[in-house]
Amino acid sequence: MKENFHEMEKMKKEAIAAGMGGRSAGASGYGVDVRIAALFDELTESERRLAEVVLEAAADLSAFTAGELAARAEVSAATAARFFRRLGYESYGDLRRSVREARTWGSPLYELSAAERPADFARHVAQDIDNLKRLALDLPPAALAAAVELLVSARRLHVIGFRNSAALATYARGLLAHVKPDVRLLPLAGQTLAEDLVGLGPGDALVVFGFRRRPPALREVMAAVRDGGARILLVTDASAARTAHLAHVTLRCPNQGASLFDSYVAPMSLISHLASAVGAALGEAAENRLAMIEDLHRRLEPFSPAGRRTPRG
pLDDT tens for 120-179 read 888 889 999 999 999 999 899 999 999 999 999 999 999 999 999 999 999 999 999 999
Q: Classify residue 306: in a domain, yes or no.
A: no
Using the predicted structure, report yes or no on whether residue 63 has a pLDDT greater than 50: yes
pLDDT tens for 263-293 read 999 999 999 999 999 999 999 999 999 999 9
Q: Classify residue 14: in a domain, yes or no.
A: yes
Confidence (pLDDT) at 251: 96
Confidence (pLDDT) at 303: 63
Confidence (pLDDT) at 13: 43
Q: Classify residue 124: in a domain, yes or no.
A: no
Q: Classify residue 272: in a domain, yes or no.
A: yes
Do residues 158 and 67 both lie within one domain?
no
Q: Classify residue 12: in a domain, yes or no.
A: yes
pLDDT tens for 213-258 read 888 889 999 999 999 999 999 999 987 877 888 999 999 999 988 8
Output the DSSP codes for the chain: -HHHHHHHHHHHHHHHHHHTTSSSHHHHS--HHHHHHHHGGGS-HHHHHHHHHHHHTGGGGGGS-HHHHHHHHT--HHHHHHHHHHTT-SSHHHHHHHHHHHTTT--HHHHHHH-SSPPPHHHHHHHHHHHHHHHHHHS-HHHHHHHHHHHHH-SEEEEEE-TTHHHHHHHHHHHHHHHSS-EEEESPTT--HHHHHTT--TTEEEEEEEPSSPPTHHHHHHHHHHHTT-EEEEEE-TT--HHHHH-SEEEE-----SSSS---HHHHHHHHHHHHHHHHHHTHHHHHHHHHHHHHHHHH-TTSGGGPPPPP-
The enclosing domain of 206 has a CATH number of 3.40.50.10490
Q: Classify residue 130: in a domain, yes or no.
A: no
- Provide the domain count of the chain: 2
Q: Classify residue 91: in a domain, yes or no.
A: yes
Q: Domain limits at 66?
A: 2-104
Q: Classify residue 131: in a domain, yes or no.
A: no
Mean pLDDT is lowest, of 16-30, 78-92, 263-277, for 16-30
